[in-house]
Each structure stands twice: as C-alpha cells, then as structure tokens.
Amino acid sequence: MSRLGKIPVAIPAGVEVTFVENLLTVKGPKGTLTREIKKDIAVAVEGCHVTLTPQKTDNAPALWGTYAAHIRNMIAGVTKGFTKVLEIEGVGYRAEVKGNLLVLSVGYSHPVSLEIPAGVTVVVEKSVVTLTGHDKDLLGQFAANVRKVRKPEPYKGKGIRYQGEYIIRKQGKKAV
C-alpha cells in the first residue's frame, strides 16, 4: 500500500485538472502539462481533490504512489514552477545563451552547443547557469544533460555541478 497514493492530491485555486481517456491535463498560471495515465490506476477529479485508486493488476501498487507524486509535481509546476542552478568552475570555463542554444566553453577544443527545450528558460550570470520551467521532468533532464558535458572531477573540482552539490576531493600524487 502506497502512503502517497492514499492521500488525495489537493487542487489549489486557479488550477484546472481534467482527466479524459487516460490523459490527465493540468492547467495553471505558468502553463499546461499533460501526462498519460495507465489503465492500472483509476483517477477521479472531485471538486478540489484528485483521488487515485489502484486496479487489481500486478503493476498497480508500483504505479499508485508514482502517479500521485507526478500529479503533485504537475500542480506545483503550473503554480510555482521549478528551478535548477548549475555552477561552472574552472579557468576559462564559461556559458552563454545564443538564441535557442546554450553554448558551453568548458575546456574542449570546441564549444559545446545544447538546444534549450521549449518550456525551459536559461539565464547565465558569470559562472552560474539558472534553469527554470514548469515541467519538472523536462527541467531535470536538461540540467542533467548540461552537467554531463563536463562532470566535476575530483582532483581540482573543475566542471559543471549543481548548486550545493558536494564533490569528494582526492589528494592526487605525492612527491617523493
């Protein structure tokens, strides 16, 4: 039994939730999000709550709490939005936004360009890249793709890291 799935999901004022033919749509001030819900979970939108009930299938217990968390994230995204902050550390490492591209110069012989997905806004200030958007999945995946360009290395700490991420440093070679 899922503890998250048992709790009804509250719908705040200004947010509209509809469920039609296994497609859940959440509309709010920041945008609209849709997600397909498998038939293993029954969704009921009643007034200011969304309730989820598992069907008698093998996958239902695993999906019950997962879909409840997805719906909570969708509602939070269309009301408040989400933010990821990445820090670039290294001599000569920098980032800039050119149109719909995030261009990273992080020690390679060429700059690396990443296309910014629709629904994500990127702001670059010195060595800090701030990503904001209303879709948590899309924002997290794009942040992971940016970090993957140059992961932080353990000897000097150079690379792209999430703000507040702690990198365990290694000692390196010792002179004899």
**pLDDT band at residue 173, thresholds of 50, 70 and 90?**
confident
Instruction: Tell me the two tokens of residue 97.
Output: 């936004």
Tell me what percent of the residues of the chain surpass a pLDDT of 90.
Answer: 89
pLDDT above 90 (res 174): no
pLDDT in tens, 6-15: 999 999 999 9
What domains appear along the chain, each with residue ranges and CATH number?
3-79 (3.90.930.12), 82-162 (3.90.930.12)
pLDDT in tens, 21-65: 999 999 999 999 999 999 999 999 998 999 999 998 898 988 999
pLDDT in tens, 119-138: 999 999 999 999 999 999 99
Whole-angstrom distance, CA of residue 50 vs CA of residue 134: 20
Query: How much is the pLDDT for 175?
Result: 75
Whole-angstrom distance, CA of residue 39 vs CA of residue 24: 12
Tell me what percent of the residues of the chain surpass a pLDDT of 70.
Answer: 99
pLDDT above 90 (res 140): yes
Q: What is the largest CA-CA distance in the chain?
A: 73
Query: How much is the pLDDT for 71?
Result: 96
Q: Where are the beta strands (DSSP E) in 1-155?
A: 9-10, 16-20, 23-28, 31-36, 41-46, 49-54, 82-89, 94-98, 101-105, 112-115, 120-125, 128-133
- Neighbour count for residue 111 (Cβ, 10 Å): 14
Mean of per-residue pLDDT scores for the chain: 94
Query: How much is the pLDDT for 143?
Result: 97
Query: How much is the pLDDT for 2?
Result: 80
